[in-house]
């Protein structure tokens, strides 16, 4: 809906430039909007712009004043309320690394939603935007954060963008933004939540600990959408068998979706058998390696074939270990199609004569990138009134290389930081969402991580898991969007003590 004239203060006012700082200022625009959900009329304020983050510069131990380091772009929504400080506040970001916050913003949480269709029924350009009947704004005010070099966020003049492109610097920057935003908006006494998707779950899990330890900012809840807290669970390096085990149930789900399994089977029954096989007989077979008798090897391949839709000969040719890219290429090879990595429901034709092991591109990524890019550029300029000639970096490679120096010679693993946050704050609640058709962050891999969290038994009830018949961005599937909205609403009520 077109913006109205602002009639109340912004959630975050531009701050005065500190003494001794360069004249670099926040650039913030405020608009008011109305939407109708059912018989309820919602009035909300949208605040979009860049907030300048500064460091106190020191030289030889002497303060040189506050130096602008980066401009972080954000979009915040606040429902008009008589008691705004009592409303929950949710900070949201996506992953990549290199992704803006557009996916959760315009797919799941925000008051406006992309119109693009779904797998098998995609609409074409120019696509569109509509009011989101499933916005979380009814339950919580929302702040969408674009990390440095994504969206309109940039390193300040004289700063090196690469200094922000890494696990540790990224955490520090996002944590500082959250601290500063919370202070300026007078929201320290509000219930506070994080929600991240994909690498955003890696960031959110680590922030749950960092915010508490560095800034004393304790959270009510963390929401993890398509979770990846232990990168070992998705690594197909030869000699590392865990990823093969944890991807197999997702292979089975996608095979079922595309009709490659026996007719009449229910998805829940396929998944139950696939999980049992993966955790049992299949894990044992991979562990034994060449010690596995040939008759047992063939028997395992036959079960794998029946569950995952590939021929037993192909599976044996892969030594029982089918990497993800080969699965995506092989499942529908007879139809001349590949299946998507982010969402295995999506397919694309293969180039005629192409015999490569890996797909040329991910059809599920191609399906969503255009609609979301068009929608966010329209929203920011035409509806929220923010102007910039910079390209809005929806998903950029400018953050490469991304530094993981904190995990040198080891896998990236932040599950221990989430466990620490839960132990230090036993009131913290965690929501974990997974799509059955997601190959990027398979649901069984996420489950494996949480089964190995090392959490005190009395706190295991602080975690809720939800599963959806969709992929990585499960909200592009409208029935999953509706179900996920209900789950998020229930989670917020539970984490704020409102659940009956």
CATH top-level class of 27-232+372-473: alpha beta
pLDDT at site 8: 39
Residue in the structure block whose two tokens are 């089977």: 265
pLDDT at site 6: 39
pLDDT at site 4: 46
What tokens were used for 124? 């074409």
Residues contacting residue 94 through CB under 8 Å, at least 6 positions apart: 100, 101, 102, 103, 104, 196, 197, 198, 199, 200
Q: What is the 3-state secondary structure (H, E, C) of 103-164?
A: HHHHHHHCCEEEECCCCCCCCCCCCEEEECCCCHHHCCEEEEECCCCCECCEECCCCCHHHH
The angle at the Cα of 253, spanning 440 to 248, to the nearest 5 degrees, equals: 65
Give the CA distances from residue 315 to residues 71, 153, 155, in Å, rounded to whole numbers and listed in that order: 50, 46, 48
> Per residue in 137-147, pLDDT tens?
999 999 999 99
> Per residue in 459-477, pLDDT tens?
999 999 999 999 999 999 9
Give the CA distances from residue 376 to residues 100, 334, 365, 371, 393, in Å, rounded to whole numbers and listed in that order: 10, 38, 16, 9, 10
pLDDT at site 259: 97
- What is the distance of C-alpha 205 from the center of its chain? 12
What span, in angstroms and rounded, lies between the C-alpha atoms of 148 and 132? Answer: 28
pLDDT at site 22: 55
**Which H or E element spans position 288?**
helix 283-288
> Per residue in 369-419, pLDDT tens?
999 999 999 999 999 999 999 999 999 999 999 999 999 999 999 999 999
What tokens were used for 396? 């950029």
pLDDT at site 24: 80
For the chain, the structural domain boundaries read 27-232+372-473, 236-364
Residue in the structure block whose two tokens are 């590949």: 338
Low-confidence residues in the chain, pLDDT < 50: 1-10, 19-20
Residue in the structure block whose two tokens are 């979770």: 227
Residue 379 Rama label (left phi>0; alpha psi -120 to 50; beta): alpha
* pTM for this model (two decimals): 0.93
**Which H or E element spans position 431?**
strand 429-435
Contact at 8 Å (CB) between 389 and 367? Answer: no
Buried b (16+ CB within 10 A) or exposed e, 325-356: bbbbbbbbeeeebbbbbbbbbbbbebeeeeee
């Amino acid at each position: 809906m077109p913006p109205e004239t602002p009639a109340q203060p912004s959630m975050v006012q531009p701050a005065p430039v500190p003494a001794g700082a360069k004249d670099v200022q926040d650039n913030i625009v405020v608009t008011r909007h109305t939407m109708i959900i059912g018989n309820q009329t919602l009035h909300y304020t949208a605040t979009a712009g860049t907030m300048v983050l500064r460091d106190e510069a020191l030289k030889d131990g002497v303060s040189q004043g506050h130096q602008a380091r980066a401009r972080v772009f954000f979009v915040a929504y606040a429902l008009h309320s008589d008691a705004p400080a009592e409303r929950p506040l949710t900070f949201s970001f996506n992953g990549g690394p290199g992704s803006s916050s557009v996916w959760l913003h315009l797919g799941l949480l925000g008051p406006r939603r992309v119109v693009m269709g779904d797998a098998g029924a995609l609409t074409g350009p120019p696509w569109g935007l509509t009011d989101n009947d499933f916005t979380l704004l009814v339950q919580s005010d929302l702040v969408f954060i674009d990390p440095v070099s994504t969206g309109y966020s940039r390193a300040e003049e004289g700063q090196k963008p690469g200094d922000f492109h890494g696990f540790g610097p990224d955490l520090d920057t996002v944590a500082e933004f959250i601290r500063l935003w919370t202070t300026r908006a007078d929201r320290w006494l509000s219930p506070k939540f994080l929600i991240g998707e994909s690498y955003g779950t890696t960031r959110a899990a680590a922030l749950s600990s960092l915010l508490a330890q560095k800034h004393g900012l304790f959270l009510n809840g963390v929401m993890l959408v398509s979770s990846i807290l232990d990168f070992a669970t998705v690594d197909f390096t030869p000699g590392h068998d865990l990823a093969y085990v944890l991807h197999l149930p997702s292979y089975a789900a996608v095979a079922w979706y595309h009709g490659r399994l026996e007719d009449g089977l229910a998805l829940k029954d396929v998944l139950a058998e696939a999980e049992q096989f993966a955790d049992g007989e299949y894990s044992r077979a991979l562990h034994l390696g060449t010690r596995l008798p040939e008759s047992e090897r063939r028997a395992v391949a036959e079960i794998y074939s029946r569950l995952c839709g590939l021929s037993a000969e192909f599976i044996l040719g892969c030594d029982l270990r089918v990497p993800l890219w080969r699965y995506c290429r092989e499942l529908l090879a007879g139809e001349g199609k590949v299946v998507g990595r982010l969402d295995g429901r999506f397919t694309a034709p293969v180039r005629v004569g192409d015999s490569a092991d890996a797909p040329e591109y991910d059809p599920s990524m191609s399906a969503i990138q255009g609609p979301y890019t068009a929608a966010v550029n329209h929203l920011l300029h035409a509806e929220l009134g923010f102007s910039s000639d910079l390209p809005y970096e929806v998903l950029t490679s400018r953050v490469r290389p991304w530094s993981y120096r904190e995990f040198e010679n080891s896998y990236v693993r932040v599950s221990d930081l989430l466990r620490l946050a839960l132990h230090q704050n036993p009131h913290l609640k965690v929501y974990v969402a997974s799509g059955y058709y997601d190959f990027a962050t398979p649901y069984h891999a996420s489950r494996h991580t949480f089964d190995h969290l090392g959490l005190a038994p009395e706190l295991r009830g602080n975690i809720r898991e939800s599963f959806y018949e969709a992929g990585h961005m499960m909200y592009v599937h409208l029935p999953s969007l509706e179900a996920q909205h209900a789950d998020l609403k229930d989670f917020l009520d539970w984490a704020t003590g409102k659940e009956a």
